[in-house]
Chain A
Amino acid sequence: MSLSTRPQIVQAQGSPSSRILATGHVRGSRVVSNEEMCTMIDSTPEWIEQRTGIKERRWATEEETPRSMAVEAGRKALAKLGLSGSDVDAVICATVSHHRPSPSLATYVAHDLGAFTAAAFDTNAACAGFCYSLNLADAMIRNGSAATVLVIGVEKLSEMINIADRGTAFLFSDGAGAAVVGRSESVGVGPAVWGTASDQVETIEIEDWSQVAGHPEQNHPLIAMDGRAVYKWAMTTVTAKAAEAIEKAGITPADLDVFIPHQANDRITDALLRHLKLPESVTVCHDIADMGNTSAASIPIAIDRMLERGQAHSGDLALIIGFGAGLVYAGQVIVLP
């Protein structure tokens, strides 16, 4: 059969653009202050706050699992739109805290939300996971394979803290942030600038399960990080990528209303700001102060909390950028819901 007579497959009709329609979040219910942290590690509350900007963090209880937190955050976001799980075409969970290789966390979350036929999968892009997943959701909506996508960043990092490492143990925290992403006539999710610096792949690592036998008192894979290397990389590469995301969105820094970088460490946020030279009119997220670092969950939690507290507003232009283990990064300019 010649090419001209073969049946031609057709492309699905997508939406011209997508945007975040609503967000929701949940935080681990146990407040862990720096004072309490210093009963577990050899440090002082002042030292921790000065080096990280963290005053307290949130740890999940045993009953609060990545699954339960993701479902609760997802339900809150859907409720704001009067939607239920059955309205969702796809669920994406961005996480490094789901310790079952298969099925994905997203399939359990889809089940619990009543999204019984939704496409469901996880992304593992560490602290850039939400921004990676938002890029996928935007592409899925524009290519017509989904109309409504639930993107959830969720972590339970408290289980993976290396309590013997006084340089990182105080950073990590637990929670989930969800975003309902849907069709839009105007652009609500700008072009993503994403990639890796895989020549530095070992800078941040979580152990594999075979290594857990070496520390039976802590029965989860533990996080290891070279904080200085991350800091330098963030200051140089992540700054450049953030600037590129602004440019690719076709706006200038002065057009931005809000800057929400991954809440890794407030000192990194300060360094990004200093090197990006954003105008003072831009509201900068410091959610880490009473939340700690929740990896893939930090950006959606911060978006929802900033909206709740009136620090950011619906329709604002926000630059979000995630960066972490890999070393992966992804950033885009978005319109806040």
Chain B
Amino acid sequence: MADNAQILSDIADIVNDITGVDQAEVTPEKSFIDDLDVDSLSMVEIVYACEEKFGIEIPDDKSKDLKTVGDAINFVTAAKA
């Protein structure tokens, strides 16, 4: 099972790939929308890329709860547990 640091690193790569935000900016306390300036369509792409990368399913109603990078890490950890 991937550890949290690895999941964070993977999510940072995904965010960088889709939005151009520097990987170092992507830390657990950051809000995707408020801190990283990710808009709703980019968020759709990030969620989809996470599903592909981690081999999990993130239902629409759950994806709306992923406010921070930490939320996403916790979701991935729980889904893969």
Contacts and interface: CB of A to CB of B under 8 A. Distances in A.
Contact of B45 (A50, A229, A235): A235
Interface in A216-241: 227-229, 231-232, 235-236
Nearest to B52: A236
Contacts of A267: 41
Interface of B: 39-41, 44-45, 48, 60
Contacts of B39: 50-51
Given A51-B41, A228-B41, 19 more contacts: A50-B39, A51-B39, A227-B40, A227-B41, A228-B40, A228-B44, A228-B60, A229-B60, A231-B41, A231-B44, A231-B45, A232-B44, A232-B48, A235-B44, A235-B48, A236-B48, A267-B41, A271-B41, A271-B45
A51 B60 CA distance: 20
Contacts of B45: 231, 235, 271
A51 B43 CA distance: 12
22 contacts: A50-B39, A51-B39, A51-B41, A227-B40, A227-B41, A228-B40, A228-B41, A228-B44, A228-B60, A229-B60, A231-B41, A231-B44, A231-B45, A232-B44, A232-B48, A235-B44, A235-B45, A235-B48, A236-B48, A267-B41, A271-B41, A271-B45
Contacts of B41: 51, 227-228, 231, 267, 271
Contacts of A228: 40-41, 44, 60
Interface string A260-304: 000000010001000000000000000000000000000000000
Interface of A: 50-51, 227-229, 231-232, 235-236, 267, 271
Contacts of A235: 44-45, 48
Of the listed residues B40, B44, B48, the one surrounded by the most CB atoms of chain A closer than 10 A to its CB is B44
A203 to B, nearest CB: 12
Nearest to B43: A228
Main secondary structure of the interface of A (DSSP, over half): helix
Contacts of B40: 227-228
A241 B40 CA distance: 24
A228 B61 CA distance: 12
A227 B41 CA distance: 9
A114 B36 CA distance: 59
Ranked nearest first, the 5 interchain pairs of A and B with the lowest CB-CB distance are A267-B41, A231-B44, A232-B44, A228-B44, A231-B41
Of the listed residues B41, B48, B60, the one surrounded by the most CB atoms of chain A closer than 10 A to its CB is B41
A44 to B, nearest CB: 13
Nearest to B18: A274
A165 to B, nearest CB: 15
A43 to B, nearest CB: 13
B8 to A, nearest CB: 23
A190 to B, nearest CB: 29
Of the listed residues A50, A227, A271, the one surrounded by the most CB atoms of chain B closer than 10 A to its CB is A271
A267 B45 CA distance: 11
Contacts of A236: 48
A69 to B, nearest CB: 30
Contacts of A227: 40-41
